[in-house]
Amino acid sequence: MTQSFPFDAFFQNQTENTSNFSDLDGKAPDSKPLGQKNTDTKAPVSGENLLEIKAKICQYLENNVPKPQFNTYFKDSFNFKGLCDGKVIFTCPTSYIKLMLLEQHHNKIREAIFFAMEAEIEFLIEVQETANSSLSSNTKNIFRSLSESKDFNIKESDEKSGKNKSANDIKFTLNLNPTKDDLISEVESKYLNHVKADNGGILIDNSKTFDNFVVGSSNNMAFATAVAIGKDPSRPSKPGRYPSLYIHSDSGLGKTHLLHAIANQIKQSFPNLIVYLVTTRDFMKEMISAMQDNTLSEFQKKYSEIIDVLMIDDIHELKNKSATQNEFFHIFNELHNKGKQLIFTSDKLPTEIDGIAERIRTRLQWGLLVDIQKPDFETRLAILKRKALELDLFLNDTILTLIANHYKNSIRELEGSLIRLSAYSDVMKIELDPEMVKDLLMLRDSASIKQEITIDRITKQVANYFMLQMADIKSKTRTQSVTKARHISMYLSQKHLKITLQEIGDYFGGKDHTSVIHATKKISKNLKLDAMLQSEIIDIESKIF
């Protein structure tokens, strides 16, 4: 179904906004070194340094933001202005773009700044729009994205004319019937939004409670302890049974859910207590900001005096951060001495965290240490049934058993499989059967897996793991993240498939066999030195086999 789009009315003779993310004239804008007051208007930072920072930020965003979103909200719209008052300043042409950037891409911008400046720096986005603002750069980007999409078609009214066409000369039709590829993209977006790790923040999620936490033999100790603290937290007037709790497990097994559940229970039972849930990364960012703004005393007072229940997620990220460890040490002592409640989560035991001071390690071990193991089959099945009920998704026992038998290491991925199936069922308007589920989730019977392994299957699993497009891995793109994924794909293909080096090279954009040898040797060498790479390879292989 198509309908005529009021193209000429939409443009309204707007003029072009010349702001461009990729243009900087080389002159330093009014700025100053981080951490100093803005006492003058001349920038002591060289234009060359600003260009380097800006180029790195742009590079990171272009490599890590999906292309349609990058073209819409960043390209020609998002401009690096400079440094001022200890903050990175960006500009954009409209309030709407600013809202979209802050709501949908806040974390990506933070990560880009960290990539470029190797520090957690605050940023501001200023709107620079004029009263007669014109066809904004974002409007151009939206139309660029639409014109590149299969759903949109721009037709010129007179193709034979050699003259440039105005808005009145162009007809714009909107196809409201999405293609199958578009529907699949929607399914994948819902799945990736679920399985990606939390990126921080301090808002307590009211949906995460003890009632919807599935208990099994792998997590019953952690659950029972969390419930006990939620009902009776340690406080100055009445020291609790567990004034300090340390929960550790692999990623995706429910630690963060328990943190939110404890916070929700305490807020309900003890509304007078101040509960503060924060990630270690946000704690560090807050401390750095306080140091830059000369408000460290307020930061210390907040944590040492105002907060009654302090909950810090991913405490292992304190490693090699000596200044942050020092502040944490004093805050821990103050709260512990006052009998207030302390709760931490980590993917390691305190004794296994490298790069932290012994006094920090000792204090983390003062309280009760509990772990969460990988869920057994019965627990995985119970989790699937509860999640299916939440999603209003009907799956028979054969399908649920099939999924429970294949996703063994992460509850997040286990639930993510249902998110994908639910989205697929909704957008395709079909009922799911076991064979369809096997195909959608790439599940196969154990006996037949080895016979079906191909270089395409290996590359697809690598792409899914690093959240990249297969086309990028097979292309000549040389960004760090894509190159790493390409080398891992080559390494696994050479390791597990009986094909020649030249066949592998041909698959990856026509590379010669020496490139494949270089990639496989590099991965083999790094595996002996890099524990994180070892873990990534094991995780990928577990999904392939």
For residues 488-512, average pLDDT: 89
Domain spans of the chain, in order of start: 2-139, 220-371, 377-443, 449-544
For residues 196-216, average pLDDT: 72
Tell which wins on pLDDT, 419 or 162.
Answer: 419
Q: Which residues, at least 6 apart from 262, have a Cβ–Cβ distance to it below 8 Å?
A: 226, 229, 230, 311, 343
Alpha-carbon Rg for the chain, nearest whole angstrom, is 27
Q: What is the pLDDT of residue 275?
A: 92
Q: What is the pLDDT of residue 313?
A: 92
Token digits for 291? 């140091």
Q: What is the pLDDT of residue 165?
A: 44
Q: Residue 70, exposed/middle/buried by CB under 10 A (0-12, 13-18, 19+)?
A: buried
Token digits for 35? 């951490």
What whole-number distance in Å separates Cα of residue 486 and Cα of residue 67?
19
Q: What is the pLDDT of residue 527?
A: 86
Q: What is the pLDDT of residue 354?
A: 87
Please give the mean pLDDT across all residues of the chain.
77
Fold entry, domain 2-139: GMP Synthetase; Chain A, domain 3 (3.30.300)
Phi/psi of residue 543, each to 5°?
Answer: -85, -25
Q: One-letter amino acid identity for 82?
A: G
Pairing of strands 87-92, 122-127: parallel
Tell which wins on pLDDT, 532 or 40.
Answer: 532
Q: What is the pLDDT of residue 316?
A: 93
Asked whether the predicted pLDDT for residue 120 surpasses 90, the reply is no
Q: Decide: 327 and 121 in contact? Cβ < 8 Å.
A: no
Q: What is the pLDDT of residue 498?
A: 78
Nearest to residue 376, comparing CAs of 504, 214, 487?
214
331 pLDDT band, cuts 50/70/90, is very high
Give Cα 343 to chain centroid, integer Å: 24
Tell which wins on pLDDT, 213 or 11.
Answer: 213
Q: One-letter amino acid identity for 248?
A: H
Domain 220-371 falls under CATH 3.40.50.300: yes
Asked whether the predicted pLDDT for residue 258 surpasses 90, the reply is yes
For residues 111-129, average pLDDT: 86
Q: How far lies 364's CA from each of 308, 327, 329, 511, in Å?
A: 18, 14, 10, 51
Tell which wins on pLDDT, 438 or 482.
Answer: 482
pLDDT digits (tens, 9 = 90+) for 61-111: 988 888 877 877 888 788 888 888 888 999 988 776 787 788 788 888 999
Least confident of 47-56, 210-219, 318-327: 47-56
Asked whether the predicted pLDDT for residue 293 surpasses 80, the reply is yes
Q: What is the pLDDT of residue 102?
A: 85
pLDDT digits (tens, 9 = 90+) for 444-477: 654 444 446 889 989 999 998 898 988 889 888 8
Token digits for 184? 């699949």
Phi/psi of residue 99, each to 5°?
Answer: -60, -45
Question: What DSSP designation does 273 have?
Answer: S
First vs last C-alpha separation in the chain: 44
Nearest to residue 344, comparing CAs of 279, 250, 253?
279
Question: What DSSP designation does 347 have?
Answer: S
As beta bridge partners, residue 172 has 5, 154
pLDDT digits (tens, 9 = 90+) for 140-193: 443 344 344 333 333 333 433 444 444 444 444 444 555 555 555 555 555 555
112 backbone φψ class: left, alpha, beta (φ>0; ψ -120 to 50): alpha
Q: Decide: 89 and 124 in contact? Cβ < 8 Å.
A: yes
Domain 449-544 falls under CATH 1.10.1750.10: yes
Least confident of 8-17, 277-286, 298-307, 353-362: 8-17
340 pLDDT band, cuts 50/70/90, is very high
17 pLDDT band, cuts 50/70/90, is very low
pTM of the entire structure? 0.48
Nearest to residue 338, comparing CAs of 239, 220, 469, 474?
239
Asked whether the predicted pLDDT for residue 542 surpasses 50, the reply is yes
Share of the chain above pLDDT 70, in %: 76
492 pLDDT band, cuts 50/70/90, is very high
For residues 291-295, average pLDDT: 88
pLDDT digits (tens, 9 = 90+) for 357-416: 999 999 999 989 999 888 888 888 888 888 888 888 888 888 888 888 888 777 888 888
**Within 13 Å and on the Cβ side, how many CA atoms surround 142?**
10
132 pLDDT band, cuts 50/70/90, is very low
Domain 377-443 falls under CATH 1.10.645.10: no
Asked whether the predicted pLDDT for residue 15 surpasses 70, the reply is no
What whole-number distance in Å separates Cα of residue 110 and Cα of residue 105?
9
For residues 423-446, average pLDDT: 76
Q: How far lies 81's CA from each of 19, 120, 257, in Å?
A: 11, 18, 39
Asked whether the predicted pLDDT for residue 544 surpasses 60, the reply is yes
Token digits for 51? 């260009």
Nearest to residue 455, comparing CAs of 428, 435, 474, 433?
474
